[in-house]
Structure 1
């Protein structure tokens, strides 16, 4: 499982909660999703040590870039107060003598421990990936056809702030189907590498990839990646309605689109949905241009077309 998922994966788990309970302020809603991701299945992927029972030290948790905009007390308050739509607590806090541990109370499915049980001896796959990451200049994975392992290595390098365009060029191949570049320092050169190295790409996450991801970059990508069925642009605030028009024209197979946080006007969203023949999932969470009435209209249109619609409003 790749990070593309982060809050995106949690959305499907919690969308019933979001639609059925009183919606908290946007920042709190985002924090709940981030905690759910980390404490259910993302902690080890982010380099944290998960203790027996799924507990994570709160001080370690606060070092994850995903929580960089939140304070420790804010996170602890979310742990103590967050409940599901049935009223059940979502997280648990366990104070100990010199530390505080937290965990998710349900839905935990962490990745396999990179070490053999009860030891600090790395598993063979982990050791191999670590060697390749540390010596990436010696490798060219053009003929390597395992998207999962490539995305795992990309995540390791990104977490260590070593994911550059040169490294990306070494890791990508023409057979890539699924690529997660969330939170990467993305440039126009990065976009050129993608269209050159991965012309058959079907799933792409550029979540929080930065201000460089604008209409020009999106146009370059969708014109050269016609097989895209899933695109995550969450947090790419330089994107405008022009990109929606280009998507309608050049990636007609698009099924999943996350454009959360991007301030797109209601009319352009309605037009996009009505022209998208294959769309199955649309996420417009935290769009500050979208009114509750506009969200209700979009939800009704999506319902009539069997499209799953996600926003921060309660209906």
Structure 2
């Protein structure tokens, strides 16, 4: 990113000396730099994600949305037997510390550093793949091979092979945007879920399995909002809407958390999405029913009964 800014500033200074109106190479250079910044490095998305670690606004938005979801749920089912309703999410989750024991978990500045390192690693890999795609002979296979590698574990070898085969004939620009959309939507989903994972502590392996078991739903959710994030000027607003919507999603793909004192074993119990098939078969009008029928059925952690609300 600094190098892109430096090149543009250099061109701006040269414009006072050289007549760029008679050449086109400067426009091609600037267009190429903009393409790298927006499609390869995903700079706008990076800046929006970075704001989470600078300001707690998105975290507060997630919790406020979660509170609203709980209130709406109980208002909707106020005529039903309270014992059949699910437990709340906001009341219990708000009792969890967002950073936990700093002797075991990252401090805020360490979290920012870790985020910058992750982003830098992704940017480096993206630039390397993009550069390799310009190699003679083998360059045309680099991006399709990267697509196959990315999608093989997610959708299986047959769809990944189809993507690889079609990618050979697609222009480089479209393949870059396709890969960037896939990886950025996954990164977006992880960032949107950070308010949940900053409170409910999962090990690295547990989080990996948690995402894998919900991969289809999370990918669809993430890619839908990622497309809207690309809208100029409205992207920041859409990001806030996506964070609030994630609070609602959490109530559909996880169990209500117990109080912190009884949280031992809760994370492990959530690795597997227990009501996945029932949830996916439900019509939209009955989404709340699945939560009410399955609350407390995990049985792998203690204290969930203590979090059951009967208001």
Q: What TM-score do you get using the length of structure 2 for normalisation?
A: 0.25
**If each structure's strand is expressed as a fraction of its own residues, which one has the higher value?**
1
**If each structure's helix is expressed as a fraction of its own residues, which one has the higher value?**
2
Q: Which has the higher contact order (CA 8 A, sep 6+)?
A: 2
Q: What TM-score do you get using the length of structure 1 for normalisation?
A: 0.25
Structure with higher Rg: it is 2
